[in-house]
Amino acid sequence: MKEIKKGDKIPSFTLPDQNGNDFDLSEITGRKKMVIFFYPKDDSPGCTREACYFRDLYEVFNEAGAVIIGISGQSVSSHKKFAEKHRLSYTLLSDRGNRIRKLFGVPTNLFGLLPGRVTYIIDSEGRVVHSFNSQTQTERHVDESLRILKELP
């Protein structure tokens, strides 16, 4: 499992979003900046804090020209409930079987029992300019993303 690192071009993939529609990453890669965050589980305390903080700063990310995408292994219906309950205004992708998580090389934590929490900041060329890995510092994922995005042209 090769971990995607700074300078790497992100792979193309298609996953269903919270509305059951196919989301093809290649449609925005190379056109827009992106923040892709992998999170362990819908509606868990840490994931809810992280997701809502991204929601609260959605307009700031939008002004920075960035698309926010959250990815975890739960079902489309779980993502839909999570998005509606917390009024999440960005895309959540259902990665059943964790195929994309493995493609990115996102590590697991707690002896492999807990899916990792990693955020990738991607420039408008489709390259990773920064990644942040922390299971517990949920708000820092958002703060780091915004700080890095503001430094990008």
Buried b (16+ CB within 10 A) or exposed e, 40-72: bbbeeebbbebbbbbbebbeebeebebbbbbbb
Active-site residue flag, 47: yes
Token pair, residue 32, equals: 């827009």
3-state secondary structure 86-104: CCCCCEEEECHHHHHHHHH
Q: Which of 47, 51, 66, 88 is catalytic?
A: 47
Q: How far apart are CA 62 and CA 33, in angstroms?
A: 10
Residues assigned a catalytic role: 47
